[in-house]
A and B are shown apart, each in its own frame.
Chain A
Amino acid sequence: MKKRITWDFLMTRFPAFFPFILLVISIIINWFLQPNMFELETINSNMRVFLPLILLAVGQAIVLLGGGIDISVGGTVSIINTILATRVGLDGSPELMWQFVLISLLAGLLAGAINGFFIAYLRLQPIITTYATSFLYAGFALFILPNPGGGIPADIANLYRTSTPLGLPLAFYIIAILLAIWVYFSSTRYGKYLFAVGGKADAAYETAVPVTLMQFSTYVISGLMAALAGIAITMLSGSGNADIGNPMTLNSITAVVIGGNAFSGGIGGVAGPVMGAITLGVIQNIISFASIDTWWETLVKATIIVVALATPGVINLIRRRRA
């Protein structure tokens, strides 16, 4: 029997279907307000701004898929930013920079491992644990760099800002690599275990899934992605600020949920959250190009996000009433 493609089928089998529609709509609106949106220069300047949140959202997506949550990612981003800005400096050599990029990645892994240890091995509650560690990490970032300053060499930052290999923005390649890694891993045992743990940890445990190890690994991945986001945002801004990661934490969670993943875990993927993060960025663009009064910005942005979150629910309600 040939399966008909219905709305329900799309919504339930492809969590990324609705985020895709949302992304297309927001891009079209943005295009009307900003006609040169599809020029390479504009795409590149947009994508390099979006990339840090995209990286963060991918890590957050993995944690949420595994049934957890990580609200310490912003703190990790700040740590990486302050390490790079103070240790490399505005006139540092490229070798020094890459050396500290490596150290940053290790720091991210460590931050994630600390979260994972407390949550997976000591079985503490994820929200409150990562809230506590967010103080640890944000405090540590402030300890490294009490006042905004420092930075990385401009020519290294420009590598991130302007390089367009084969005529496409650098961010596209990074996203493509991430998606390829995800597609590979979701087909392996790791991916199956991840969905099992996020769906129902007890049942997964009874069927011999290494639940503790899986939960631990999601936080380590999130720490690593936060480190990458920290490196990206440092190359984007070129300077250091211990509060830089702070506003990104809740945005990363919103991006994942707008991306169609279930907050409770076990449903979703990585492509949706990537689109969710881009949508959030595009919404920000729309608001600045629509020349909305500054006083209205917060309200308009929040309303758009709530409407975007509510739409699938409203559609379901209407359809159920008709049926």
Chain B
Amino acid sequence: MKRFSISPPVAALILAIVLFLLSGFLPNSYGSDVKVAIAQATNILRLAVFLGVIAAGQTLVIISGFEGIDLSAGSIVTLTAILTYVYVNGEDNKVLVALLIALGVGALIGLLNGIGVTFLKISPFVMTLGMSGMVTGAIIVVNHGDVRGKIAPIMTRLIARPISPEIPIPGAIVIWLIFGVLMWLLLERTTFGKNLFAIGVNRVTAKLSGVNVTATNLTTYSLAGALAGFGGFLVVGNTGVVMIQLGQPFLFPSIAAVAVGGTLLSGGKGSYWGTMAGAIVLTLITSLLTTMQMPDSVRRMVLGATLLILISIYGRQRALRQ
């Protein structure tokens, strides 16, 4: 019997479009004004970029299996955002070095996670949770709640502003598209990508087939850290201000985006397209709920219920009976 099935990224994307069209009927929404509708859609896409990039590292770690998860992503975002903010201090010519610092610091923290997970056999959940506490703690110790800096004009222009007056597409979306292609190449066209899926499915068979499980695992966690670091760089480029709670709100949504995009949380199966679609759906739902002017309590409940419905549709695991 052939079951009707539709791939999760496509399903998530269709859902996002339907939701967005339906949202036109809400009071104080775009109504029948196409221009406003396009502007609103662009804005939601722009906001989805940050969640999408932060969720990229999460996607890699989750695909690597073995309960892989990165709970330190939020704190890395905060840290690299602060580092960028302080280091750049309003000067355009320091931006490139700041980006390298963000990537490097992220990769280093990711590597520490990887060492804990791979060599010390600490489960990723608690290892990265502990690392998150250490990074947050280190931020508090170093800056004592007082951060001075400024982002560079070029960052605002590249990330937050439209690419040109004629083309009203924010730079962040272009960056995300290029980023998405790179992620696809990494996952589907490189040895690392193949090894990653291999260790996600079964570590023993991967090892027996000649995959260096230890190296792949370490690389995965380092990459995840670096990508979270990149996320921090982008986030501060968009907001222009930093605070200690900057990254944490992205953490669990990044896991949810991965799950909504059809990547199995048990590893071995998934795609970055799915995560991108998931990030769009989640950002759309949150911004719709924000515009609907309801109390915070109701908003949280609606978000929880929507998430439950979403994952009920296609987040189901294999049945026990085969």
Contacts and interface: CB of A to CB of B under 8 A. Distances in A.
Interface of A: 69, 118, 122-125, 127-129, 131-143, 146, 201-202, 205, 211-212, 242, 250, 253-254, 257, 262-264, 295-303, 305-306, 309-310, 313-314, 316-317
Given A125-B317, A127-B69, A317-B119, 16 more contacts: A124-B316, A125-B315, A127-B265, A132-B307, A139-B296, A139-B298, A139-B304, A142-B295, A146-B296, A205-B320, A299-B140, A301-B137, A306-B131, A309-B116, A310-B120, A314-B120
A218 B122 CA distance: 24
Q: Sorted from nearest, which 3 A-B pairs have the closest CB atoms? A: A299-B137, A302-B133, A313-B120
Majority SS of interface residues in chain A?
A: helix
Nearest to A299: B137
Given A142-B300, A303-B137, A313-B121, A131 B312 contact: no
B320 A124 contact: no
B208 interface: no
B11 to A, nearest CB: 15
Contact of B297 (A131, A143, A301): A143
A140 B303 CA distance: 12
Interface residues of B, number: 52
A89 to B, nearest CB: 20
A122 B313 CA distance: 10
A13 B126 CA distance: 22
B308 A133 contact: yes
B307 A135 contact: yes
A257 B122 CA distance: 9
A92 to B, nearest CB: 24
Given A125-B259, A295-B140, A310-B120, A263 B67 contact: yes
A133 B252 CA distance: 13
Given A123-B317, A128-B255, A296-B141, A254 B126 contact: yes
A128 B126 contact: no
Interface string B236-266: 0000000000000000100110010000111
Contacts of A298: 133, 136-137, 140
B134 A122 contact: no
Nearest to B253: A131
A142 B296 CA distance: 8
Interface string B310-322: 0110011111110
13 contacts: A123-B317, A128-B265, A133-B308, A135-B303, A139-B301, A139-B304, A146-B297, A201-B320, A211-B320, A242-B297, A257-B123, A298-B137, A302-B136
A146 B141 CA distance: 33
A263 B125 contact: yes
Given A253-B125, A303-B137, A306-B116, A136 B320 contact: no
Contacts of B153: none
Interface string B135-159: 0111011001000000000000000
B130 interface: yes
A242 B123 CA distance: 31
Contacts of A296: 137, 140-141
A195 B115 CA distance: 29
Nearest to B258: A128
Nearest to A125: B265
A124 B265 contact: no
Nearest to A257: B126
Contacts of B317: 123-125
Nearest to B138: A299
